[in-house]
Amino acid sequence: MATDSLFKVLPREAKDGTTGTVNISFDGKALRVPQGVSVAAALLAAGIERFRTTPVSGAARAPYCMMGVCFECLVEIDGVANRQSCLVPVAEGMAVRSQLGMRELNDLVTSAGGARDER
Ligand code: FES
């Protein structure tokens, strides 16, 4: 069931006189999004509705709390998986990818500072 987005981008002007936008990509698609907001807010403003899928059923998920509590906004940012996009400021040139299903165990170990198992 499709619904209208509850989010709207309010008009804003950048302090430094720039356009107030940055260029990023999401799943390889180029997007121009507002600067000075979180990655989650930027993607929602661009109309992105699916940020990740669940490991068990593959159900689509998108940000819910926008404050670091629900973990529904997990994405891969510049090659690092499992980032809470509501807590990361958007920046020029970011490559964001949706996070599909469960991450590899080695990704979990290395992101926690452990050594990668090459067996
Ligand atoms: S939207 Fe809830 S943790 Fe990011």
Does residue 15 form part of some domain? no
Against a cut of 0.75, is the pTM above it?
yes
Q: What is the pLDDT of residue 101?
A: 80
Pocket residues: Cβ below 6 A from ligand 1: 40, 63-66, 68-73, 84, 86
Ligand 1 atom at shortest distance from the alpha carbon of 66: 1
Q: What is the pLDDT of residue 78?
A: 97
In sequence order, which residues have a C-beta less than 8 Å from that of residue 85 and are 6 or more positions away? 38, 39, 40, 43, 51, 63, 73, 74, 75, 77, 96
Q: Which two tokens stand for residue 25?
A: 């990509």
* CATH value at residue 79: 3.10.20.440
Q: What is the pLDDT of residue 42?
A: 95
Does residue 62 form part of some domain? yes
How many angstroms separate the CA atoms of 76 and 103, rounded?
10
Does residue 117 form part of some domain? no
Quote the strand ranges of 1-119, DSSP E. 21-26, 29-34, 52-53, 60-61, 74-77, 80-84, 95-98
Q: Which residues of the chain have pLDDT under 50?
A: 117-119
Does residue 16 form part of some domain? no
Of 6, 43, 61, 64, the one to substitute when testing ligand 1's pocket (max ligand atoms within 8 A of C-beta) is 64
Q: What is the pLDDT of residue 49?
A: 94
Q: Is the Cβ–Cβ distance between 96 and 24 less than 8 Å?
A: yes
Does residue 76 form part of some domain? yes
Does residue 83 form part of some domain? yes
Structural domain span for residue 73:
21-111
In the chain, how many domains are there? 1
Does residue 2 form part of some domain? no
Does residue 97 form part of some domain? yes
Q: What is the pLDDT of residue 119?
A: 47
